[in-house]
Structure 1
Amino acid sequence: MTSGIPENRQRFELLERIRRKVPVVETMTIIADQTTSWLQVTDPDKLLLTALERGEEGGFEVDPFWAAAWRAAVGMDRFLGQICGEVGETAWRQLSILELGGGSGRAGISAAMRGARVVITDASSTAMLVCRYNAWHMRDRVSVRRLDWRNRNQHLGLFPILVGSDIVYDPKLFPILEPCMRRHLHPHGAVYLSEPQRHTGERFQSWIQSAGWQLLEHYIDLEDGEKQIRIFECRLPK
């Protein structure tokens, strides 16, 4: 009965660290077709205004976009369910997956809840804390690491699958995202990037192909009256 006390204390202390940085609320959400606890920022718009007031100072570290609940992350969750069904549960459990720009961790946690081992990355220390809290029940299969795409010397290993939700919203990020993808992708692997059919997605489509990648598109209908979520499947030529 006492063995769980230290873990509970660690989780409580993690929550207190997060609350000193950003206002959050504990709620419930659906991931991998299961209802699970979820910590979300109560006022992501306030983070955005703060970042705008600071201008470029802090860079990725103060990027507030991770705090919002993006439709693209929900679409990636459902898409991962499709892939898991195609490869089979046994093969899925043998996979190691890297999430880029994971934010609060929805896509990576989705992959882990389905049985894969996952490394969720972000450049924001606050996002990483929230992600660790959200992944607490999956911590035997999830690790959270800091990854700054600009650091070309940083290498976390090779992964057969890379995922990212709504990380191609700014064309200025393409030239630093693409080398990061190359550094971490197994030669026969695939990168899956979700986005809600913005015009910047169209720009990424042509840009990534001009950088030498092969591209396929998949679409996920969230049945919410909005545009379908587009999934870019990116592979390097064999």
Structure 2
Amino acid sequence: MPIRCVETPLLAASSTPPQWYRDTLRLTLSGREFVLRRDQDMEALWESLGREGFGEDERMPYWAEVWPASLLLAAWLHERREAIAGRRCLDIGCGMGLSALAGAAWGARVTAVDHEEAAIAHAARNAAANGLGLDLAVMDWRRPCFRPGSFELAWGSDILYEIRFYDALVPLFRQMLAPGGRIWLSQPWRQVSEPVWAALAADGFRVTKLHEESVAFASTRSTVTLYEIGL
């Protein structure tokens, strides 16, 4: 796997990691403040769903939390702001919208998709609260709702936490990207995800490791790696 790493940290060191306060998060990234709001935390949503609420796809309410991988991806988009400005970009599995908002703040034309209607509703409210424009859609990765070649760039944070997602994402990558397009994936280290990078290379993708950093959010700290996937 080629390695082209950014050596300096992308996130400013802080003695107090960012965290929610009464379901509001104020987060400063690269000098720009973002405000995220939610109605309930992930644990409360989990309890309210019940077993039948997960469905056959086991749709856990992970979207209701901010994860270290999304913080690093948002900071990376600022680092690459000249590359994303004015470009058509797809945010895959946007959750409440942090990385989509970061992309829009730094000039990208962002379309953000998520499997969960509640996530898209929150992303829309958070976009309005931050004065940013996003195109938003509820979308199952297995059934893309855009024309092939619609996007010059795509990105996602922590979307390979289960190996079964690979079979849905690979066709999506091929279909959604315009010729020469790239995908940025921000992924915490997990044993289950390790075979993914070799599998992508075997399937004809160029895989480059871009950056690695220890990232904290609230009581969670993870080593997060950024990868670039090219066709």
TM-score higher than 0.5: yes
Aligned counterpart, 1:155: 146
Aligned counterpart, 2:37: 39
Partners of 1:223 and 1:67 in 2: how far apart? Answer: 19
Aligned counterpart, 2:134: 142
Q: Secondary structure at the match of 1:221?
A: strand
Aligned counterpart, 2:202: 210
**Residue 201 of structure 1, aligned match among 193, 196, 214:** 193
- The question of 1:97 aligning with 2:89 is answered yes
Counterparts in 2 of 1:77-92, with a 5 A limit?
77-84=74-81, 88=82, 92=84
Partners of 2:111 and 2:52 in 1: how far apart? Answer: 30
Quote the offset at 1:228 in angstroms: 3.0
- Judging by fraction of residues, say which structure has more helix: 1
Q: Cα deviation per residue 1:104-151 (whole Å; 9 max; x = unaligned)?
A: 111111011111110111111000000001111566631111221111
Quote the offset at 1:82 in angstroms: 1.6
Q: Secondary structure at the match of 1:151?
A: coil
Cα RMSD of the aligned pairs, angstroms, is: 2.4
Larger Rg: 1
Aligned counterpart, 1:54: 52
Q: Is the 8 A contact 1:112 1:138 kept in 2?
A: no
One-letter amino acid matched to 1:37? V
Aligned counterpart, 2:61: 64
Moved more, 164-173 or 219-228: 219-228
Quote the offset at 1:155 in angstroms: 1.9
Name structure 2 gaps, 5 residues minimum: 1-21
Name structure 1 gaps, 5 residues minimum: 1-23
Aligned counterpart, 1:232: 227
One-letter amino acid matched to 2:204? G
One-letter amino acid matched to 1:96? R
TM-score for the superposition, normalised by structure 2: 0.79
Q: Is the 8 A contact 2:35 2:129 kept in 1?
A: no
Question: What percentage of residue pairs aligned between the two structures are identical?
Answer: 23
Counterparts in 2 of 1:111-130, with a 5 A limit?
111-130=103-122
Q: Is the 8 A contact 1:99 1:120 kept in 2?
A: yes
Partners of 1:44 and 1:108 in 2: how far apart? Answer: 20
Higher RCO by CA contacts (8 Å cutoff, separation 6 or greater): 2
Residues 58 and 180 of structure 1: is their aligned pair in 2 closer, same or farther, counting only changes over 3 Å? Answer: same
One-letter amino acid matched to 1:231? L
